[in-house]
């Protein structure tokens, strides 16, 4: 009987010890999240809509978790006040003209409040100060914009399909160009004629150069080009000597 009682007491003691240990760990984790063991200061900001932000969500600055959301209170029908607890050691880096922006941890992660960088000329924030807020983009507005874009794409696709159907049927100028072999042959013949005309023009220019009436003109042009070339070479040599 005494042995059974001793075992019961040992188990009860272990259970109580485990409960106390679990309680201490819980207090430590909660205190760490709430910044209870760090030197902190408080800020606040006001949004029209917090977009799903909750008490306990992280506050970030320069991509680092520097605090948590302490409170979210509805002030009136157009204002929601958000209280922040921030570690004291980052206070010198958060400026008075910084802004609070609500974002997400990943695509479908928890909401997070990000404090933007202020200007270097601005003074650091003070304990209890209210900073400016940037209103978050509501998901409903995004979905509405996507819906409008999808509708426009559908309309454009239908119009392109109708145009291609008309082209394939031979309607319109483009359809005639594609389907009419006579027009295609005429275009090919026109290109051939242009090539012949270009060749004939080259022959005429060559003949003009050989003609004594125009020979002086072409010789003068040739001498001018050679003179410019010599002057350029001379200028280049003089510049090389100066260097």
Task: Establish if 211 belongs to a structural domain.
Answer: yes
- Same domain for 208 and 190, yes or no, is yes
- Same domain for 59 and 131, yes or no, is yes
Half-sphere exposure in the Cβ direction for 66 (13 Å, CA): 23
pTM for the predicted model, two decimal places: 0.47
Q: Where are the alpha helices (DSSP H) in 74-180?
A: 139-168, 172-179
Task: Establish if 243 belongs to a structural domain.
Answer: no
46-96 per-position pLDDT tens digit: 999 888 889 999 999 988 999 999 999 999 988 999 999 999 999 999 999
Task: Establish if 203 belongs to a structural domain.
Answer: yes
Q: Where in the sequence is the domain holding 194, given as residue range(s)? A: 181-231
* Strand-strand pairing, 99-104 and 111-115: antiparallel
Closest C-alpha among 47, 22, 39 to residue 85: 39
Task: Establish if 238 belongs to a structural domain.
Answer: no
Average pLDDT value over all residues in the chain: 77
Task: Establish if 236 belongs to a structural domain.
Answer: no
Which tokens sit at 120?
Answer: 């270097």
- Same domain for 4 and 43, yes or no, is no
**Helix, strand or coil for residue 79?**
strand
113-144 per-position pLDDT tens digit: 999 998 989 999 999 999 999 887 665 556 66
Task: Establish if 127 belongs to a structural domain.
Answer: yes
Q: With b meaning 16 or more CB within 10 Å and e meaning fewer, what string describes 151-171?
A: eeeeeeeeeeeeeeeebeeee
Task: Establish if 240 belongs to a structural domain.
Answer: no
Q: How many domains does the chain divide into? A: 4
Residue 160 pLDDT class (50, 70, 90 cuts): confident
- Same domain for 50 and 125, yes or no, is yes
- Same domain for 27 and 50, yes or no, is no
Task: Establish if 227 belongs to a structural domain.
Answer: yes
């Amino acid at each position: 009987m005494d042995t059974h009682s001793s075992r019961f007491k040992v188990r009860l003691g272990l259970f109580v010890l485990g409960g106390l240990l679990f309680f201490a760990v819980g207090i430590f984790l909660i205190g760490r999240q709430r910044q209870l063991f760090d030197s902190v200061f408080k800020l606040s900001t006001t949004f029209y809509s917090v977009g799903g932000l909750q008490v306990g969500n992280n506050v970030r600055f320069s991509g680092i978790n520097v605090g948590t959301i302490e409170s979210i209170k509805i002030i009136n029908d157009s204002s929601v006040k958000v209280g922040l607890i921030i570690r004291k050691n980052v206070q010198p880096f958060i400026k008075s003209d910084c802004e609070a922006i609500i974002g997400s941890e990943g695509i479908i992660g928890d909401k997070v409040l990000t404090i933007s960088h202020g200007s270097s000329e601005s003074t650091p924030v003070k304990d209890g100060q209210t900073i400016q807020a940037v209103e978050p983009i509501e998901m409903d507005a995004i979905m509405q914009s996507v819906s409008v874009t999808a509708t426009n794409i559908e309309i454009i696709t239908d119009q392109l399909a109708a145009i291609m159907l008309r082209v394939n049927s031979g309607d319109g100028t483009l359809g005639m160009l594609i389907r009419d072999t006579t027009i295609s042959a005429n275009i090919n013949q026109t290109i051939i004629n242009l090539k012949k005309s270009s060749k004939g023009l080259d022959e005429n220019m060559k003949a003009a150069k050989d003609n004594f009436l125009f020979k002086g003109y072409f010789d003068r042009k040739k001498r001018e080009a050679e003179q410019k070339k010599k002057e350029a070479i001379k200028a280049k040599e003089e510049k090389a000597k100066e260097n």
